[in-house]
Each structure stands twice: as C-alpha cells, then as structure tokens.
Structure 1
Amino acid sequence: MLWIILVIILLIVAATLLLFRLEDLSHLDQDDYPVRQGKPSDANREVLGRIRELGQSSKGLRGKARLVALRKHMDGLSEGLTLASEIRYCESPRGEWVLAPGCDTRRRILYIHGGAWAAGSPRSHRAITDRLSQIAGAAVFAVDYRLMPENRFMDGVRDCRGAYTWLLKHGPEGPEPADFMMVAGDSAGGSHTLALLAWIRDKGLRQADAAIAFSPSTDLTLTAPSNRNNIGTDPLLGPAFGGLSKIPLPVIWWATLAAFRVSPTSPIASPLRGNLRNLPPTLIQASDTEMLLDNARRYAARAEAAGSPVTLHTWHSMVHVWQIFVPLLPEAEEAFDDIRQFLEQVESGTAAKAPA
C-alpha cells in the first residue's frame, strides 16, 4: 500500500512539473522604484471604514450568498455619486457608455472593471469611468463582461476582445471609426487589459494608443514576494486572499486550473508571462503596501526589458485600487492628475514608444 501511495505522489509531482513549467522571475524584483512619499490624507480613514463595511457585508455568509452580497456592495459604491457624465446602456456588446459633456465620440476608452473576475460591474466603477471620460475628453465604454463562476474565465476574455474590436468601428451614436483608442482596467480588469494588448498585437488589429492599469493582477502563479509579504498591510486583499499563503503553491495552481480552465502560467491569465514586445505606452499605478505590488513591478521591469514603454508610478500606503474613491480621496485626485499628464505626453508624442 505504501509503495502505491509513493507512486501516486511521484506521478502528481511529475505532472505538476510538466504542466506548470515556471520561468523564475525573481530577477525582476527591484526595490528602486520611486514611491510617492507622504502621510496618507485624513480621508483615507473613511476609505478604510468603507473597506471594513465591504468585509462586514458578507461576514458569516458562504458560497453563492457571499458572492451575491459582495456584488451588491460593490455596485453600491456608485450610490450617492454626482456624475458629470451621461450613462447610456448598450445591449450588444453588453456594457454602458459613460459620456462627459463635450467628449469627442471618436476618442474611445474601453474600461474593464475589477472584482476578482467574479464581482464588479460598470456600475460599481462609475467613479473611475466618469473621471476618465472627463480628463480624456473621450467616450468611455465599460464592458459588462461575463463573470465567474456562472461563466468560464475565457467567456469574459472573449467579451473584452469583442468589445475592443467593436469599439474600433462604433461609437455611442452608431458606426463611426475611432481616432484615438485606449484600454484601461483595474485589478482583475487590469489583467484583462494587459492580456488584451498582447492579443491585439498578435491579431494585427489597430493597437490602442495608450493603456492604463490600476493595481493589475499580472501573474496567477502567486510567486511574487508581495503576494505574501504584504498580506498584513493590504486591508482589502489581505483579509480576502491572505489565507492562500498557508496553501502550497502547487495546490493553488491545480485549483486555479480547475476553476479557470486555463493554466495560471498562461499569458491569457498571467500577462507577465507572455510576450511583452511592441506594446503601446502604458501607465501602471500601484500602492507600496498592497499584495499586487510586485505583480506591477515585475510587469513593468519585464516590459521595459522587452523595449515596451511601460511606466510604473507607486503611491505610499494606499488601498488596492484607491482611484475608485475619487473625489473623496485626495490621493485619487493625484492619480487622475497623473493620468492626465500621461495622456498629454502620449498625444504630444513625448511619451516613449515601442521600437518599430
């Protein structure tokens, strides 16, 4: 009996090594990225209170009930906001247009929301899409991609791809070619954003003129140091996902494969592990205390080594995707000022570009 157990264990180990062949990316771990120093604003205490409310909303619940509560609470983030933009629902592709007064409908932004691929919606992220439409003078389309677990991970990927392809030729008023295209997203949506850029390149489509990723997930293998080192300093992701640190990584990889039906080493789910050449100017914003910090750092370092113009700007002691708390949080205002400057550089031609 013992030898049978040993054989089974050896087979599992062999299968793990064969299926999840990982390139060691520890050489990308750098501490010399500048961080915007300064004590968090007083408004940060209110933000932390809202984060605690998010945790309380699903406390004691399990399974589907927990997920429903989380989704409801996230959608409630837009309640009470004074939006400058007009919101228009779109049936196909499913999503909503966010149109600031006077925006140019030939300038378009595809926004891909976060929420661990299982929560979030265009509604939950209206604070971000409203502000993006204003500062870019563009029509923002927030895609309502299919979520897990009701749908497969690849269904959401296909929705994002389809939305981008459609936006190249359609605006809020109907068929109309785009003069300017940008893709933006946060967290899980940031992962979709970065993976989408590579897909656009590989398909030979008109590439986005720029991209923005807020605290993106770039590597589902969870091998980056901050995935474990920053559990205690991340008030949002720490309580939700910190427990994974107690589980051996190979077990997590098999579980991810089972849930996503995509290997965690695949560039579709882990854009860090794909080809990062010839990508458009991209701005990444992250916090030095969040679990996904090294996801951002590693992606920026590897993209730079591949010759792609990816810039990482890091804030001190901010919650994951703090930009969603605009206008409450001064640091969120700073982040959008940073985006405004980035876009000015892109459109003036002073932003770095990938070599031809």
Structure 2
Amino acid sequence: MEAVWILLAFVLLVVAATVLVFRIEDLSRLDQGDYPVRPAVPGDGQQRVLGRLRELGESARGLKGKARLLALRRHMDGLSEGLTLASEFRHNDAPRGEWVLAPGVDHRRRVLYIHGGAWVAGSPRSHRAITDRFSRIANAAVFAVDYRLMPEHRFMDGVRDCRRAYTWLLEHGPDGPARAEFMVVAGDSAGGSHTLALLAWARDTGLRQADAAVALSPSTDLTLTAPSNRDNIATDPLLGPVFGGLAKIPLPVLWWGTWAAFRVPPTSPVASPLRGSLAHLPPTLIHASSTEMLLDNARRYAAKAREEGSPVELHTWAGMVHVWHIFVDLLPEAEAAFEDIRDFLARVEATTGARGRRN
C-alpha cells in the first residue's frame, strides 16, 4: 500500500510540474475558420508519388539508430536526381549552403530557402526541385542554407545557422557584397517552422524584415495539440507512418520528451512559432494539404496572425502529400502551387512597392 501511495504522489507531482512548467494556452478557438480547398485531380502522378514514398520507407527498413537515419538522409538527397533543372548550383562555405541561380535572374533579388526533414534530414541537394523552381518564379538568387541537423547538433545550432544566413544574405549576393533589394524567406515542413520563427526574430532584433515569406506545409506548434495531428494520421502517407505512433503517447510525455530532444521547451516560439507574437510580420503565404497531419498547424498560424494584424494567406489543396511541391515533375498541383507563389510575390511587390525588376 505504501508503494501505491508513493506512485500516486509521484504522478501528481509530474502532473503539477507539467502544468506549472508548460502553461500551454488553449488555441482551439483558432480551429473555427472556414478555408476554401483547391481541388486536385487524381492521376498517375499521384500514384508514382506514393510509390516514391514507399521507397523512402523501404530505404530504412530493418535498420536502426544511426544506420536508419543515414539511409533516410541518402534517400532524401536523391529526390532531385534525374530531374532536368535549369539552374546553376554554386557551393558556398560561410555560411554553408548553395546558391541556386536560374538563367538571367536578378542577383539583387534573393530568397533564403530553409529545407525540411524533421530537423534530422534533408539538405540543399534534396530540395533542388523546389529551389530551382523558386529561382525562376521569383527571378531571384536563391540561397539554400545547409543548417546543422539533429541529433549530431543541437536544435538551436540549426536556428543560429538560419539566422546567420539571413543576416549575411541581406548584404551579400552570389557575386560578393551587395545589398538585397527584394528579400524573401521560404521553407517547408521543419524548414517552414524555421522560416516563421526567423521572421519574428528579425522583427524583435530590429533587422531589416523580409519583404515576403512562403511556408510550405509548415510545422508551427510542437505541442501537437492541433486536431489534425491525430485526425489526419491515416490520410497522410508521408508523416502518418513515421509520426502516427506518437498519437498513442500522452501529450505531457511528448512535451517532456521534446524538451529533452530539442533542449528547448515545445512552447518556445523558436520551436513553435505559433506560440509567440505574430504581430508586425511581413506578407506571408502558407500552403497546406487538406489531408496532411500539419493542416491545423497552418490554419491556426494563419488565424492567429490575422488576429494580431499580420497579412497571412493560407491556400489549401485537396488530398496532396506533405510538401507536394518537391514532386513538381509528377504533379500538376505542384506546378499550380508554384504559379500561386509567383502570383503572391507579384502582388506583394505591387502592394508594397518593393524594388527589383521581374521577368
């Protein structure tokens, strides 16, 4: 009986500590918005994409630990192999990354691109299908930052790499020192999280703010309290098989585990930009799929940003895979998404009077 009382006291202590430490605000009020969904037409391309996702899972089957992670990274780096890409890819040492330069683009116009991969995988090479297209539609020099990944490095090391790249990019182009005339920050998934957090950091530190931002299927809240984190497990063929099992773990346990892994609490705006101030941010475009686990992360961010007066647009496509943009060679919806980004950037320039010539 004494052991039972000790266990009960321990559980109550953990619960009290969780409530006291995390103080997680209920953001369910942000789930009430009605967002139009753009239709998608099922075709052979979607089946081929699903086949590629199965290959991704097979690449690490039977492996554990570091071997599994390395296999995943190798497979992701091969995603852009075999594609016909128009851009020049130029390595850069400090900050580490690569320039992506479509023919004839204006080097005074720049895009910082932050790749996804759950903070443990991905690279500038894995996302060349996206950065190549970004350079063309933005008529800009794209810098894909090669930020440090977990678990070899701390989460904050990657954050600092992105901040350093942004600060440097404001004053440096692919040909040397030169001030940017039009600046965009963009990223997908985990890189979308870094993108949104970077905007708030630039605001708070008094740096020149980006003229615009684009976040593709972004992670915005590591507390995992949004409904789609659980409701869309079965309909997300990429994130569902990898992260769906987390739904069986109580949220307080996940919060403590996230803090241990990231060394920042899941409520920190650095890791969960939704949890910080979203006032006074630049025009931002968010893309999400109606069936992905991170759908409500995007919806909540857009709703809160609007509450706080920041111009954020959320455009949703029906039934697409997480970050479908990377499959631009297979999906007409990916092509449509890039055209949507092109139109958004043109509207931003027309509204704000940002400088820089366009094609």
TM-score (norm 2): 0.96
Say whether 1:34 aligns with 2:36.
Answer: yes
**Alignment-mate amino acid for residue 45 of structure 2:** A
Alignment identity in percent?
Answer: 77
**Hey, what's the Cα distance between the residues in 2 that align with 1:94 and 1:42?**
38
Query: Which aligned pairs between 1:190-209 and structure 2 lie closer than 5 A?
Result: 190-209=192-211
Query: Which aligned pairs between 1:295-310 and structure 2 lie closer than 5 A?
Result: 295-310=297-312
Cα displacement (A) at 1:31? 5.2
Name the residue aligned to 1:95. Answer: 97
Deviation sequence 1:131-154 (CA, Å, 0-9, x none): 000011100000000000000000
Q: Is contact 1:85-1:130 (8 Å) kept? A: yes
Gap runs ≥5 in structure 2:
354-359
**Hey, what's the Cα distance between the residues in 2 that align with 1:38 and 1:241?**
25
**Alignment-mate amino acid for residue 21 of structure 2:** L
**3-state SS of 2:268 partner:** coil
Which residue of the other structure, out of 274, 277, 281, is the alignment partner of 2:276? 274
| 3-12 or 319-328: bigger deviation | 3-12
**Hey, what's the Cα distance between the residues in 2 that align with 1:127 and 1:263?**
33
Cα displacement (A) at 1:9? 1.5
Which residue of the other structure, out of 45, 48, 51, is the alignment partner of 2:47? 45
Name the residue aligned to 1:169. Answer: 171
**3-state SS of 2:234 partner:** helix
Say whether 1:14 aligns with 2:16.
Answer: yes
**3-state SS of 1:233 partner:** coil
**Hey, what's the Cα distance between the residues in 2 that align with 1:281 and 1:40?**
32
**Hey, what's the Cα distance between the residues in 2 that align with 1:125 and 1:29?**
31
Gap runs ≥5 in structure 1:
352-356
Deviation sequence 1:170-192 (CA, Å, 0-9, x none): 11001111101000000000000
Report the count of equivalent residues: 351
**Hey, what's the Cα distance between the residues in 1 that align with 2:194 and 2:249?**
26
**Hey, what's the Cα distance between the residues in 2 that align with 1:330 and 1:38?**
9
**3-state SS of 1:250 partner:** helix
**Hey, what's the Cα distance between the residues in 2 that align with 1:131 and 1:183?**
15
Cα displacement (A) at 1:315? 0.2
Name the residue aligned to 2:356. Answer: none
Name the residue aligned to 1:313. Answer: 315
**Hey, what's the Cα distance between the residues in 2 that align with 1:293 and 1:334?**
19
Q: Is contact 1:40-1:316 (8 Å) kept? A: no
Q: Is contact 1:194-1:271 (8 Å) kept? A: yes
Name the residue aligned to 1:155. Answer: 157
Name the residue aligned to 2:253. Answer: 251
Q: Is contact 1:30-1:297 (8 Å) kept? A: no
Q: Is contact 2:138-2:345 (8 Å) kept? A: yes
Deviation sequence 1:281-300 (CA, Å, 0-9, x none): 00000000000000000000
Q: Is contact 1:197-1:279 (8 Å) kept? A: yes
Q: Is contact 1:184-1:213 (8 Å) kept? A: yes
Cα displacement (A) at 1:39? 2.7
Residues 339 and 225 from structure 1, CA distance in 2 versus in 1: closer, same or farther, beyond 3 angstroms?
A: same
Cα displacement (A) at 1:350? 7.0
Which residue of the other structure, out of 54, 73, 76, is the alignment partner of 2:75? 73
**Hey, what's the Cα distance between the residues in 2 that align with 1:66 and 1:133?**
33
Q: Is contact 1:40-1:318 (8 Å) kept? A: no
Kindly report the root-mean-square deviation, in angstroms, between the aligned alpha carbons of the 2 structures.
1.0
Q: Is contact 1:41-1:330 (8 Å) kept? A: no
Which residue of the other structure, out of 184, 194, 199, is the alignment partner of 2:186? 184
**Hey, what's the Cα distance between the residues in 2 that align with 1:41 and 1:314?**
19
Which residue of the other structure, out of 118, 124, 132, is the alignment partner of 2:134? 132
**Alignment-mate amino acid for residue 58 of structure 2:** Q
Cα displacement (A) at 1:41? 3.2
Residues 28 and 144 from structure 1, CA distance in 2 versus in 1: closer, same or farther, beyond 3 angstroms?
A: same
Moved over 3 A (4+): none
**3-state SS of 2:104 partner:** coil
**Alignment-mate amino acid for residue 6 of structure 1:** L
Say whether 1:339 aligns with 2:341.
Answer: yes
**Alignment-mate amino acid for residue 106 of structure 1:** R
**Alignment-mate amino acid for residue 323 of structure 2:** V
Cα displacement (A) at 1:164? 0.1
**Alignment-mate amino acid for residue 260 of structure 1:** F
Name the residue aligned to 1:354. Answer: none
**3-state SS of 1:302 partner:** helix
Cα displacement (A) at 1:3? 2.4
Q: Is contact 1:266-1:273 (8 Å) kept? A: yes
Say whether 1:228 aligns with 2:230.
Answer: yes
**Alignment-mate amino acid for residue 56 of structure 1:** E
**Hey, what's the Cα distance between the residues in 2 that align with 1:130 and 1:41?**
24
**Hey, what's the Cα distance between the residues in 2 that align with 1:30 and 1:237?**
24
Name the residue aligned to 2:66. Answer: 64
**3-state SS of 1:107 partner:** strand
| 248-257 or 11-20: bigger deviation | 11-20
**Alignment-mate amino acid for residue 37 of structure 2:** V
